[in-house]
């Protein structure tokens, strides 16, 4: 039996309606993740007013679990304005499942390097009358000649010593190396320093 124009138009309208329903179903269940997938689903038959030659169409789509990707700023990271001044390397690992459970593992390795500033006990760059070295205060009081020898009169922590060149004093902690005019050069351990007498002659 040949199809009339009315039957052909009815089939076209029914096909368009069926296509819209299938696309809407796929959008709701596959893309948006709605519904509970417990098995295949059959669409209800559509009454178009005519008898289609192939019977009632059925659709059994299978929907895959949606893949959730998170991008953007880590919600557990410290904002830049509140970050400490010391630098640190932070490694964060985030694992997210579809059910909504989030597991975050954060490893922080501090990389702060503190360089201490050491001030030496003081070795004068220019000769002066006194110095504090090794916790001792040393003052050159005078230089003079006695019995053909040059003598330096030195005060260490309030005690006065009269010493000649090459002689140790103050319990052997200091040594007079040389005398030149009003100045004398001393050794304290491996440290050499020079003092000049400031008292008038």
- Answering whether pTM is above 0.85, one says no
Position 160 scores a pLDDT of: 94
Per-range mean pLDDT, top range of 21-25, 31-35, 67-71, 127-131:
21-25
Residue range 123-169, pLDDT digits in tens: 443 446 788 998 999 999 999 998 889 999 999 999 999 999 999 99
Higher pLDDT, 99 or 78: 78
Residue range 168-181, pLDDT digits in tens: 999 999 999 999 98
Q: What are the structural domain ranges in the chain? A: 130-196
Contact (CB, 8 A) for 48 and 14? yes
Position 83 scores a pLDDT of: 56
62 has a pLDDT exceeding 70: no
Mean pLDDT, all residues of the chain: 73
Question: What span, in angstroms and rounded, lies between the C-alpha atoms of 72 and 49?
Answer: 53
Q: How many CA atoms lie within 13 A of 107 on its CB side?
A: 3
Higher pLDDT, 88 or 114: 114
Q: What is the DSSP letter of 170?
A: T
Question: What CATH number was assigned to the domain covering residues 130-196?
Answer: 2.30.30.830
């Amino acid at each position: 039996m040949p199809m009339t124009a009315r039957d052909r138009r009815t089939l076209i309208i029914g096909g368009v309606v069926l296509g819209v329903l299938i696309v809407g179903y796929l959008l709701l269940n596959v893309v948006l993740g709605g519904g509970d997938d417990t098995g295949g689903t059959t669409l209800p038959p559509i009454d178009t007013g005519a008898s289609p030659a192939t019977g009632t169409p059925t659709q059994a789509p299978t929907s895959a679990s949606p893949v959730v990707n998170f991008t953007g700023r880590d919600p557990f990271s410290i904002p830049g304005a509140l970050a400490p001044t010391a630098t640190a390397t932070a490694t964060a690992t985030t694992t997210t499942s579809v059910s909504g459970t989030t597991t975050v593992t954060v490893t922080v390795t501090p990389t702060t390097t503190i360089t201490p500033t050491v001030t030496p006990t003081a070795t004068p760059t220019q000769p002066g009358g006194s110095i504090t070295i090794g916790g001792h205060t040393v003052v050159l009081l005078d230089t003079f000649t006695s019995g053909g020898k040059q003598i330096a009169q030195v005060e260490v922590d309030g005690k006065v010593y009269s010493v000649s060149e090459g002689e140790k004093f103050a319990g052997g902690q200091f040594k007079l190396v040389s005398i030149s005019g009003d100045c004398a050069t001393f050794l304290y351990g491996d440290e050499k320093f020079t003092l000049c007498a400031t008292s008038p002659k």
